[in-house]
Structure formats: structure tokens, C-alpha cells
Amino acid sequence: MKSLNLSMYGTQATRISNPADELHSISRRGWSDLQRFILLSAAAFLVRDFNLYQAFPEDVLQILGCAPPPQLVLIALAGYVFTVITPLLIHLSQGDKPVVNRWHLVYRSIFYLFFLCSQSLDSYFMLVLGTGMFLYLLEQSLVGLLIYRLQHGRGLPA
């Protein structure tokens, strides 16, 4: 059987001879990233009322500038969701294995910081949590569907 080269996480390439094993590995990494996201969400929930701009001295505030308005953060979040869902749906329609990147944990969690800076995290916490969990579960559903297809003889296209 042809050996696949798996180097999606920036580490040294791992040799996996079975596509199902590769998909199971992607699934395990996705579930661990979901757990990390939930932990970061719990930390963000604890500081959701914190005023970040009162904590810094005036000199630092002049360097940072004004906080982004929540509307711009919402637009950025919508753009991010679009850039994640589009490739997932393309991979789903073509039957390819998804390309999962560990940086998505940082990307999804940074929206907590953006809303905290705009002093609206209390209002948008559930939106960020729900969006992040939805994206992780969508990725896991795609991997699960590919594992199902592989186990029932439809396999991955060459």
C-alpha cells in the first residue's frame, strides 16, 4: 500500500501507511484542540468583565491606540468563518482529506481578546464560543464522514 506523508502540524513528517490511521490521527488532534479551546474559553469567561484599557498606563495606551469597534471584530469573525468553511466544503465535495492546521486554535481564541479590547466580550462571549465549537465539530464531522467512507469501500480518491 502506498505510504502517505503527513506533515500538517509543522513537525517532522510522519510516515503513516494506512489512510484510516491518518484520519484517526487527525481526528484525535482535532478533539484535543477542541478541549484546549474550551479551556481557553473558560479563561476568557472569567475575565469577560475586565477593562483592559484601565490596566495599562497612559504611555502604553498611546502606543496601542483605540480599541476596535465590535462591528469590525464581527466582520473579521464572519470572514474567518467563511475562510474555514469554504475549504472544508470543497474537501467534502471532492472526498479529499481535510487539511487541519493547529493555528486555528489561536485564530479562534484571539477573538476573545479582540472583544475584550473592545469592552464587549460579555456581550459576544457565547457567539465566539459557539462559532469555535461549531467549526471544530464541523471539521470532526468531515473527518468522521471520510473514515466512514473509507471503511465502507468508497475510499479516498487518488
**Helix/strand/coil for 4:** strand
Gap between the Cα atoms of 92 and 140, Å rounded? 12
- Model pTM? 0.79
Whole-number pLDDT of residue 76: 97
Cell of 35: 478541549
DSSP label at residue 15 = E
Average pLDDT per 10 consecutive residues for the chain, totaling 158 residues: 41 58 88 95 93 83 86 97 93 80 91 92 96 94 87 62
